[in-house]
């Protein structure tokens, strides 16, 4: 009986942490999905998440409002998106190069701004964090309740965003046109679609989502800003998009798998097991490498991904 | 409502390219200069201190060369990979793998181990070979996926970075851990350290290794048949294949060589600076090396110059932070802004702002 109880406690704790950790990853991945569907590989979301995290922490700490913090993170994402959109779409620079260099720039900017903000204040600043909002009735369901329905509001919102993203991509003309632009921009242009506008839209959506994901990390998981708050989660979001084969619902499943690996590693550190934690931590990356290696069929990526479009 | 219009003739001459690079550097320095102001520092004296420390003092220049060596090696790896059309981003991981391989060999030179008493002249080639092979295999995996199975090297190589970081973390917290200490390897025996160039100067043989590698890469890429085939593969794989070039094989070669070069950077860091393997010791150097390579226009000589400039900026930034309390992150921003502005500059060489009142260029009319 005791073994059963321990097992249930372990499973509940692990799966609840899975959902909690998957949230920001999924949010960033959903935005990236729009950029990639429009034909732009936005590697810069790693840096955008960091800037979103910084501004969100600053806004929440100075105004005392968590939702203003979230808005601040999204505004930071929008600003970064304007710059990245210019580089990717208008200047037609190499998307990989721009994204990678932007990430370095963002790291410098965030660390600089953080020092500037803290300059006048003393000591480490703690912002208030979103508290858990159990959903009435549903959260009382045994086993499933604590796993799915005892989270911060941001978890539920992310689930809504996933459903919304699926609807927009699959069931609206905007989504159809966006996908057309990513598959064959010349044909889309001939058909009268504004390729530039759709690609900008994709980049901006991805950056706003990344800014929100950065805000999410600060406001619901860490509680304050650190330069290491993102550390690769933007890249994992890129992997989730590919692993989820450019579909919002499959991306949600992929995000849960990545979250589960991360949570398992955290949980197993409490128990002492023979498995090195690094192996568990490496699992998501290894799975992505395998998925992208071409060994198990080519991933069906948008045809014009990473190819800048110019009319002549 | 178009904001930009195409120039009648793109500004493509060497002078225009040089001018736009110079403007990009000036613009980045100007933005950086503004960033000093909130900290109450005068930009001009800050820059004078920054570059003066790292290029005009003997001590500082030694540090600059010390930091330049790994950047040059990573930049050379970038040149080889990207010129062959292999969009590799896994240099950070290769640095760690090379560092681990060099550590492993160096620890065997300890008292009572297999290679105890090995003279440095025999140890160094062995360490270079070990890091070359380890890094070559590490990036070769990605190259194999790309050339053989059509995998996506951009994402795969980014993911390999994390696997490499975790692998080293495992090594220094398990098999290679210093007994009872922090998660790091034991200190390497003194006889495996890279010798200093001059007494009292921090620069060591690492910079010579890097310069030799630059010469080899230059000769291979720009003076040999294989290198020619690699460059053609990067410019236009379809035409290269049509011309009889084995595109897949050349990309695989480029992948292995690029990883090997970056791994040598890890070796230089371990044998010349840290003298032990440390968790997370690469600290982003794999990415800064890539940026320096872009500033160097993906040419071996350009890489040497740009890497030395970036290394000097890093050294100056550290000194600035220590002495004046100015954040060294300003320099990271300047380093990345230079290349971002160069990329934007390439756009403005083809397009210009559309101004009201300016006659729009049309065919035959010239400017």
Please list the pLDDT of chain B residue by residue as tens digits (367 residues): 567 877 877 777 788 888 888 999 999 999 999 999 988 888 898 898 889 989 999 889 999 999 999 999 999 999 999 999 999 999 999 999 999 999 999 999 888 888 888 899 999 999 999 999 999 999 999 999 998 888 888 888 988 999 999 999 999 988 888 887 788 999 999 899 999 888 778 889 999 999 999 999 999 999 999 999 999 999 988 899 998 899 999 999 999 999 999 999 999 999 999 999 999 888 889 999 999 999 999 999 999 999 999 999 999 988 888 888 888 899 989 999 999 999 988 888 888 877 776 655 444 433 3
CA distance A93 to B361: 24
Q: Which residues of A touch B8 (CB under 8 A)?
A: none
Residue among A49, A45, A42, A47 nearest A108 (CA):
A47
Q: Is residue A113 part of a domain?
A: yes
Residues 6+ apart with CB under 8 A from B357: none
Q: Which residues of B touch A278 (CB under 8 A)?
A: 166-167, 169-170, 173
Nearest to A293 among B149, B327, B333 (CB): B149
Nearest to A112 among B152, B166, B329 (CB): B329
* Under 8 Å between Cβ of B84 and B251: yes
Q: Kindly state the tokens that stand for A243.
A: 């692993």
Residues A150-200 pLDDT 10s: 889 999 999 999 999 999 999 999 999 999 999 999 999 999 999 999 999
Q: Which residue has the tokens 């006048």?
A: A120
Residues 6+ apart with CB under 8 A from B363: B8
Which residue does chain A place closest to B31, by CA atoms? A109
Q: Which residue has the tokens 């965003």?
A: A161
Confidence of residue A298 (pLDDT cuts 50, 70, 90): low
CA distance A12 to A269: 16
How many residue pairs bridge chain A and chain B with CB atoms within 8 Å of each other?
139
pLDDT at position B326? 86
DSSP E strand boundaries for chain A: 133-134, 150-151
A270 has pLDDT over 80: no
CB burial string B15-36: b at 16+ within 10 A, e below: eebeebbeebbebbeeebbebb
Contact (CB<8Å) A285/B160: yes
Contact (CB<8Å) A292/B158: no
Q: Pick the residue of B288, B329, B353, B363 with the most A CBs within 10 A to test the interface with A by mutation.
A: B329
**HEC sequence for A199-221:** HHHHHHHHHHHHHHHHHHHHHHH
Give the CA distances from residue B134 to residues A266, B100, B137, in Å, rounded to whole numbers and listed in that order.
30, 9, 5
A296 has pLDDT over 80: no
pLDDT at position B355? 73
A265 has pLDDT over 80: no
Which residue does chain B place closest to A103, by CA atoms? B336
Contact (CB<8Å) B340/A102: yes
Q: What's the rounded mean pLDDT across residues A119-133? A: 70
pLDDT at position A162? 96
Contact (CB<8Å) A276/B174: yes
The per-residue pLDDT of chain A, averaged, comes to 88
Q: Is residue A111 part of a domain?
A: yes
Dihedrals phi, psi of B94, to nearest 5 degrees: -65, -35
Number of domains present in the structure of chain A: 1
**Domain membership of residue A132 as a residue range:** 23-231
Q: Kindly state the tokens that stand for B95.
A: 């640095």
Q: Which residues of B touch A243 (CB under 8 A)?
A: none
Stretch among A101-110, A182-191, A284-293, B310-319 having the lowest mean pLDDT:
A284-293
Q: Exposed, middle or buried, A68 (CB in 10 Å: 0-12/13-18/19+)?
A: middle
Q: Which residues of A touch B159 (CB under 8 A)?
A: 235, 239, 285-286, 288-289, 292
A201 has pLDDT over 80: yes
Residues 81-100 of B with CB under 8 A from A: 87, 89
* Under 8 Å between Cβ of A60 and A219: yes
CA distance A34 to chain B (A): 17
Residue among A100, A267, A47 nearest B291 (CA):
A100
Distance between terminal CA atoms of chain A?
Answer: 73
* Under 8 Å between Cβ of B126 and B105: yes
pLDDT at position A281? 79
Q: Is residue A258 part of a domain?
A: no
Contact (CB<8Å) A293/B294: no
* Under 8 Å between Cβ of B271 and B106: yes
Of all residues in chain A, the percent with pLDDT exceeding 90 is: 56
Q: Is residue A137 part of a domain?
A: yes
Largest CA distance in chain B: 83
* Under 8 Å between Cβ of A50 and A214: yes
């Amino acid at each position: 009986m005791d073994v059963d109880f321990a097992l249930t406690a372990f499973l509940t704790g692990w799966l609840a942490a899975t959902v909690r950790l998957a949230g920001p990853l999924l949010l960033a991945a959903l935005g990236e999905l729009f950029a990639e569907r429009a034909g732009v590989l936005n590697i810069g979301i790693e840096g955008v998440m960091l800037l979103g995290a910084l501004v969100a922490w600053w806004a929440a700490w100075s105004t005392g409002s968590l939702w203003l913090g979230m808005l601040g993170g999204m505004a930071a994402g929008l600003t970064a998106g304007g710059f990245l959109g210019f580089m990717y779409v208008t200047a037609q620079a190499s998307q990989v190069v721009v994204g990678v260099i932007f990430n370095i720039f963002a790291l410098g900017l965030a660390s600089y701004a953080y020092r500037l903000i803290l300059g006048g204040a003393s000591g480490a600043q703690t912002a208030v964090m979103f508290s858990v909002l159990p959903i009435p009735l549903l959260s009382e369901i045994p086993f499933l309740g604590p796993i799915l329905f005892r989270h911060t509001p941001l978890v539920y919102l992310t689930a809504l965003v996933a459903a919304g993203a699926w609807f927009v991509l699959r069931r609206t003309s905007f989504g159809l046109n966006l996908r057309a632009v990513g598959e064959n921009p010349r044909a889309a242009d001939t058909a009268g679609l504004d390729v530039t506008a759709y690609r900008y839209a994709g980049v901006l959506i991805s950056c706003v989502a990344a800014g929100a994901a950065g805000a999410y990390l600060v406001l619901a998981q860490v509680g304050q800003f650190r330069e290491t708050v993102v550390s690769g989660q933007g890249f994992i979001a890129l992997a989730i998009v590919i692993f989820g084969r450019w579909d919002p619902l499959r991306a949600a499943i992929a995000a849960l798998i990545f979250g589960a690996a991360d949570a398992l590693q955290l949980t197993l550190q409490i128990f002492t097991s023979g498995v090195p934690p690094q192996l568990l931590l490496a699992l998501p990356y290894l799975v992505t490498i395998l998925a992208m290696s071409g060994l198990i069929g080519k991933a069906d990526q948008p045809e014009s991904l990473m190819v800048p479009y110019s009319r002549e | 409502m178009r904001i930009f219009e195409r120039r009648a003739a793109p500004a493509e001459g060497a002078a225009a390219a040089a001018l736009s690079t110079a403007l990009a550097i000036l613009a980045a320095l100007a933005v950086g200069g503004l960033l000093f102001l909130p900290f109450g520092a005068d930009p001009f004296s800050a820059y004078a201190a920054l570059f003066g420390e790292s290029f005009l003092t003997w001590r500082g220049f030694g540090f600059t060369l010390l930091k330049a060596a790994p950047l040059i090696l990573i930049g050379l790896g970038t040149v080889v990979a990207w010129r062959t059309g292999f969009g590799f981003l896994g240099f950070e991981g290769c640095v760690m793998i090379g560092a681990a391989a060099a550590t492993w060999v160096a620890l065997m030179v300890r008292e009572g181990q297999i290679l105890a008493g090995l003279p440095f002249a025999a140890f160094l080639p062995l360490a270079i070979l070990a890091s070359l092979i380890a890094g070559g295999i590490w990036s070769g995996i990605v190259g194999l996926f790309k050339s053989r199975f059509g995998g996506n090297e951009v994402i795969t190589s980014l993911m390999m970075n994390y696997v490499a970081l975790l692998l080293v973390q495992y090594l220094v917290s398990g098999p290679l851990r210093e007994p009872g200490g922090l998660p790091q390897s034991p200190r390497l025996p003194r006889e495996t350290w890279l010798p200093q160039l001059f007494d009292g100067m921090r620069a060591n043989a690492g910079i010579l290794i890097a310069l030799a590698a630059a010469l080899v890469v230059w000769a291979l890429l720009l003076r040999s048949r294989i290198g020619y085939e690699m460059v053609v593969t990067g410019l236009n794989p379809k035409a290269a294949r049509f011309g009889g070039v084995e595109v897949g094989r050349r990309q695989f070669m480029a992948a292995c060589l690029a990883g090997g070069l970056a791994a040598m950077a890890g070796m230089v860091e371990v044998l010349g600076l840290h003298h032990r393997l440390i968790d997370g010791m690469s600290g982003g150097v794999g990415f800064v090396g890539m940026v320096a390579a872009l500033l160097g226009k993906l040419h071996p000589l350009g890489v040497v110059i740009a890497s030395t400039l970036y290394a000097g900026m890093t050294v100056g930034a550290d000194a600035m932070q220590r002495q004046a309390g100015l954040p060294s992150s300003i320099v990271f921003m300047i380093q990345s802004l230079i290349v971002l502005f160069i990329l934007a500059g390439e756009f403005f060489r083809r397009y210009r702002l559309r101004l009201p009142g300016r006659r729009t260029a049309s065919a035959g009319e010239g400017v």
